[in-house]
Amino acid sequence: MGQKYYIANFKMNKTTVDVKQYFSAFPKKPKAYKDNIIFCPPATALSYTKKLIGNKFELGAQNIHFQNKGAFTGEVSGEMLTDAGAKYVLIGHSERRIYNYESDHTINNKIKAALLNGLIPIVCIGENKNERNEERTNNILSRQINSAIEGIADLGKLIIAYEPIWAIGTGVSATIEDISQVACDIKKIINLPIIYGGSVTEQNANKIAAIPNIDGLLVGNASLDPKKFAKICNLI
């Protein structure tokens, strides 16, 4: 089994004061620990989080703009994220697809911008409840993957995050059988690391992370509590 990715997505939570408290309660990483623990705080706390974690853990951003600079009020570019210490970036999270109307085309451009800036894109895909009920999961995922990677030669850097929309923030994760099946189907489309997200908790984390084609977990709600997330990462 390869190294796992444990990714904390804080979403729109935590000021620098909260982040400071968080890391005072988060355990140190033992030397023998080999998995990747990545924290994705909001943009305003990126630099500060990097200062606190140093090289002990990795830093990820939650979003990126597809241009490097210019008249894009309110946006943050890949160059700025790298400057803040980020190594990874979440792209195409369903909350951004839904609330910020991000299209497959925009997501493709964002992935290109991330790669240009040396950031590792964590590309989020997932079907909604209707699509699942209508058995269109496979079609949706292959459309999302194929448009995400259009025109990208260097695919080796990408990570795919499978996050069924109906499982995000609902307290109901996909079943082990569902995740195994979907991970298998994704591997047929593209051979990249696949992580799972959607109501991961300290109770179900180990079982999900142990699924053969699953390389890690993307954790929202449960990552906000340092003890719960440390447990998910098998640090305590």
Judged by the rule CB under 6 A, the positions of this chain that interact with ligand PGA are: 9, 163, 168-169, 197-200, 218-222
Report the residue number, 163 or 215, with the smaller CB distance to ligand PGA: 163
Are the CB atoms for 20 and 1 separated by under 8 Å? no
Question: Min. distance of Cβ 211 from ligand PGA in angstroms?
Answer: 17
Question: Min. distance of Cβ 173 from ligand PGA in angstroms?
Answer: 8
Give how far Cα 1 sits from Cα of 5, 22, 210, 232, Å: 12, 30, 9, 17
CA separation for the pair 187, 125 (Å, rounded)? 13
CA separation for the pair 65, 69 (Å, rounded)? 9
Instruction: Give the helix ranges, DSSP H, for the chain.
Output: 16-25, 46-53, 78-83, 94-99, 104-116, 129-133, 137-148, 176-189, 205-209, 226-232
Report the residue number, 46 or 219, with the smaller CB distance to ligand PGA: 219
Question: Min. distance of Cβ 232 from ligand PGA in angstroms?
Answer: 10
Question: Min. distance of Cβ 169 from ligand PGA in angstroms?
Answer: 4
Report the residue number, 6 or 79, with the smaller CB distance to ligand PGA: 6
Q: Which residue is nearest to ligand PGA (CB)?
A: 220
Report the residue number, 79 or 168, with the smaller CB distance to ligand PGA: 168
Which of the residues are catalytic?
93, 163
β-bridge mates for residue 122, sequence order? 90, 159
